[in-house]
Chain A
Amino acid sequence: GAGVSQSPSNKVTEKGKDVELRCDPISGHTALYWYRQSLGQGLEFLIYFQGNSAPDKSGLPSDRFSAERTGGSVSTLTIQRTQQEDSAVYLCASSTYRTYEQYFGPGTRLTVT
């Protein structure tokens, strides 16, 4: 079946502009996660959605970052007034409720110039 998809695959933006990154999770997966990975680093947790529960936003690095998940499916991560330090690969993952294995999308490589 279809895996997690993300768009765009690459995004180059100027400092100060807003960007939106999209994630389509695997159908039926109730949990959705956003991570980011800077060059040569591990994954940094950003935000976690589970069903209709309030999202765990504890990993968002600043108030310039926000995310929403509409209809329990597609999610959008928005970064306002982008900075150069926001350059990274943004990874989305999904899983079923109460299983720990996460299925990752291919990521969006964001470059802020």
Chain B
Amino acid sequence: SQQGEEDPQALSIQEGENATMNCSYKTSINNLQWYRQNSGRGLVHLILIRSNEREKHSGRLRVTLDTSKKSSSLLITASRAADTASYFCATDASLKRGSTLGRLYFGRGTQLTVWP
């Protein structure tokens, strides 16, 4: 079964508003990543947060991680029409550091639509 599950499945907002997407996972992780996908093709890495971190920022992106709740959130501030895409969280789900290095488990994604 998939490790990460994003919520909501779809989100529609106006430009300038903030967009918040959530991700829940099932097992212990070393890292959690967020990726973006345009038009069903290649994914682009956005940000990685390690299991010992609680919050991380990158430009207009803010990611939080709560390992006790096995959840993460991605906040995009001051959204733009160009942010329209699918957003995926991905976890490594390594029970032993390095044992399954590299293999990622993806959720089904949140489809974000930002209207001009």
Contacts and interface: CB of A to CB of B under 8 A. Distances in A.
B69 interface: no
Nearest to B32: A100
A101 B48 contact: yes
B103 A33 contact: yes
Contacts of B4: 42
Interface string A58-94: 0100000000000000000000000000000101010
Contacts of B31: 100
B83 to A, nearest CB: 18
B33 A100 contact: yes
User: What secondary structure prevails in chain B residues at the interface with A?
Assistant: loop
Contacts of A102: 43, 45, 102, 104
A43 interface: yes
Interface string B52-96: 000000000000000000000000000000000000101010000
Given A104-B44, A105-B42, A106-B41, A42 B104 contact: no
A1 B53 CA distance: 31
Interface of A: 4, 31, 33, 35, 37, 39-43, 45, 48, 50, 56, 59, 89, 91, 93, 95, 98, 100-107
24 contacts: A31-B102, A33-B103, A33-B104, A37-B40, A40-B108, A42-B2, A42-B109, A43-B43, A43-B104, A45-B104, A45-B105, A48-B102, A59-B103, A93-B43, A98-B101, A100-B30, A100-B31, A101-B45, A101-B48, A102-B43, A102-B104, A106-B42, A107-B41, A107-B42
Interface of B: 2, 4, 30-31, 33, 35, 40-45, 48, 88, 90, 92, 100-109
